Amino acid sequence: SMHINSKGHLEIGGCDTVKLSKQYGTPLYVIDEEQLRKNCRSFYNSFKADYPENNVIYASKAFMTTAICKIIEEEGLGLDVVSGGELYTALKADFPVKNIFFHGNNKSAEELTMALEYGIGRIIVDNWFELNILNELSGKMKKKPNIYLRISPGVEAHTHEYIKTGQIDSKFGFPLFNGDALDAIKYALNLENINLIGLHCHIGSQIFSYKSYNAEIEIMMNFLKTVKDVTSWEVEELDLGGGFGIAYVDEDDPQPIETIAKEIIKSVKEFSNALNLRLPGIIVEPGRSIIGNAGTTLYKVGAIKNIPNIRKYVSVDGGMTDNIRTALYGAKYSAIVANKAKKINFEKVSIAGKCCESGDMLIWDIELPQLESGDIIAITCTGAYNYSMASNYNRITRPAVVLVQNGNADMIVARETYDDLIKNDIIPDRLINKNK
């Protein structure tokens, strides 16, 4: 939870953010544990509580550390991983392997071997190449993994509206439109070393309305009917992917997850009845909507440059290395001045990062209380795809992450050091000047 304390400072999880910035330095990622757990519970209660056959899988690409895995486990959610590194992190956190789902369009033989060795819950097979090597590896290792096939349904969601033809041109999944998906199912059903139990699809990210999901469900359920007619096989589990949107700025107006869940469950039921199909367990894979609004980044203001009548640039001590979303997607964010959280003396400014390129901006044109060097700016809703997409561009060290709750702060990722930056560098002997 966030509020303004008696000093006029922003408080998150009962911790004064100005104090946090002094104690841990800036930039600093702050994760509000209560908000994170609240988001997990909304999903759990909406999708799973009354329907044990359903499952909610947190898309860990949004933000993952070993401590986060522990919270996800405690809240009864599963984990979607997309690389050996994410899988390794989950395993190191002792995450229950049966509730780990492995995604990705180009998993390596090593990654698949790792998944088979640990017996993770589901492998979502993306393409023919993977289908064949997985079957081969499973045979060699005497395993029989439960798999889904990823289907490319030809629906692409664009935030509010949806179009039904877009996503055919995609690197992900078996396309529905040309019979590829049906062929893959027939083929997979005959493979000896895998157990096909479901289908997966994903239509995009930052989706605000259940209508996009209903378009996806309509296509998938009709496809399941065709599959049943042709093969007599029926899915046990239908994975609808993630993409549930969140509000970054006031204009964003996503429907509550309770509403979207109700509509999704209703729609799957109606189609199952109408088409005489077995009711599948519904799987969803939220990432952003679990962690996004639980994260805030604290920055310290440095240089301020005013170009009269044009723009006032307020530079902070981070930027595209800790949040690339503004530069990469034109993403919008809101901010609060942590040490002047009361809304007074507004002026329009743009918040710039410290990297050596003009596109390194965090927020264009925002009204904030008049800023001075040394002020602490809190950019909100930075939990998803910020730390997980962070880089060392310009050899900038990645910030620490602290988890706050009930007035306590625990560091869950240490700030990188300059030594971390060079720890994998090697100087070949011949470049070492021995005469020095």
81/351 with CB nearer ligand LLP: 81
Rg (CA), the chain: 24
198/286 with CB nearer ligand LLP: 286
Q: Which stretch binds ligand LLP (CB under 6 A): 42-50, 138-146, 284-292, 305-313?
A: 284-292
78/399 with CB nearer ligand LLP: 78
Residue 27 annotated as lining a ligand binding site: no
Site map for ligand LLP, 78-117, x if CB under 6 A? --x----------------------x--------------
Site map for ligand LLP, 370-389, x if CB under 6 A? --------------xx----
DSSP conformation class of 393: G
Give 77's contacts (C-beta < 8 A, 6+ positions apart).
40, 43, 44, 56, 57, 58, 99, 290
Give 107's contacts (C-beta < 8 A, 6+ positions apart).
115, 123, 126, 130
Residue 288 annotated as lining a ligand binding site: yes
β partners of residue 413: 401
Residue pair 395/352 in contact (Cβ under 8 Å)? The answer is: no
Minimum distance from residue 166 beta carbon to ligand LLP (Å): 15
Minimum distance from residue 385 beta carbon to ligand LLP (Å): 3
Residue 13 annotated as lining a ligand binding site: no
Q: Which stretch binds ligand LLP (CB under 6 A): 133-141, 211-219, 279-287, 365-373?
A: 279-287
132: left (phi over 0), alpha (psi -120 to 50) or beta: alpha
Q: How many residues does the chain have?
A: 436
Q: Which residue has the tokens 């330095």?
A: 25
The one catalytic residue in 15, 69, 356, 381 is: 356
18/131 with CB nearer ligand LLP: 131
Task: Candidates 37, 48, 122, 288: give the one binding ligand LLP (CB under 6 A).
Answer: 288
21/55 with CB nearer ligand LLP: 55
Chain Cα centroid distance, residue 18: 28
Site for ligand LLP in 301-340 (CB under 6 A): 325, 329
Give 415's contacts (C-beta < 8 A, 6+ positions apart).
24, 25, 397, 398, 399, 400
243/280 with CB nearer ligand LLP: 243
Q: Which residue has the tokens 């071997």?
A: 113
Task: Candidates 13, 27, 287, 369: give the one binding ligand LLP (CB under 6 A).
Answer: 287
Q: Which stretch binds ligand LLP (CB under 6 A): 91-99, 180-188, 281-289, 415-423?
A: 281-289
> Binding to ligand LLP by residue 198, rule CB under 6 A?
no
Max Cα distance, the chain (Å): 83
Can you tell me the distance from the alpha carbon of 217 to that of 381, in angstroms, rounded to the nearest whole number? 29
Site for ligand LLP in 230-269 (CB under 6 A): 241-244
Can you tell me the distance from the alpha carbon of 354 to that of 282, in angstroms, rounded to the nearest whole number? 44
What six digits make up the tokens of 307?
């170009």
Going by C-alpha positions, the residue among 155, 160, 277, 159 that lies closest to residue 219 is 155
285/322 with CB nearer ligand LLP: 285
Residue 393 annotated as lining a ligand binding site: no
Position with the least CB separation from ligand LLP:
287
Residue 287 annotated as lining a ligand binding site: yes
Residue 150 annotated as lining a ligand binding site: no
81/349 with CB nearer ligand LLP: 81
Minimum distance from residue 294 beta carbon to ligand LLP (Å): 13
Q: Which stretch binds ligand LLP (CB under 6 A): 83-91, 220-228, 285-293, 342-350?
A: 285-293
Site map for ligand LLP, 35-64, x if CB under 6 A? ------------------------x--x--
Backbone angles phi, psi at 195, to 5 degrees: -125, 100
Chain Cα centroid distance, residue 322: 15
What six digits make up the tokens of 258?
């309770």
Can you tell me the distance from the alpha carbon of 363 to that of 200, in angstroms, rounded to the nearest whole number? 36
DSSP conformation class of 415: P
Active site includes 355? no
Helix, strand, coil share of the chain (percent; to 5): 35, 25, 40
Q: Which residue has the tokens 């309509």?
A: 218
Can you tell me the distance from the alpha carbon of 211 to that of 216, in angstroms, rounded to the nearest whole number? 9
Residues near ligand LLP (CB under 6 A): 59, 62, 80, 103, 202, 205, 241-244, 285-289, 325, 329, 384-385
Q: Which residues are annotated as a binding site for pyridoxal 5'-phosphate?
A: 243, 285-288, 385
Q: Which residues are annotated as a binding site?
A: 243, 285-288, 325, 329, 357, 385
Catalytic (active-site) positions: 356
Q: Which residues are annotated as a binding site for substrate?
A: 288, 325, 329, 357, 385
